[in-house]
Amino acid sequence: MLNKENTIVLSDAGETSAADVLKETMEYFGLSNDEVAKRVEITEEQLTLI
């Protein structure tokens, strides 16, 4: 999860994958797969491979 200083703070102490961080960040900012894919200029299908 991003905090006020824009640093990532994990919501648990266990192992976390890049996909978990991305999903948590998307939820925090209320972003859909479509929005994120457009912002990083990839397809939604490519995003789901992360």
pLDDT tens string for the chain (50 positions)? Answer: 555 666 666 666 567 788 888 999 999 999 999 999 999 999 999 988 88
This prediction's pTM: 0.63
Please give the Cα distance from 47 to 23 (Å, whole number): 11
List CB contacts of 9: < 8 A, sequence separation 6 or more. 1, 2, 3
Please give the Cα distance from 25 to 30 (Å, whole number): 8
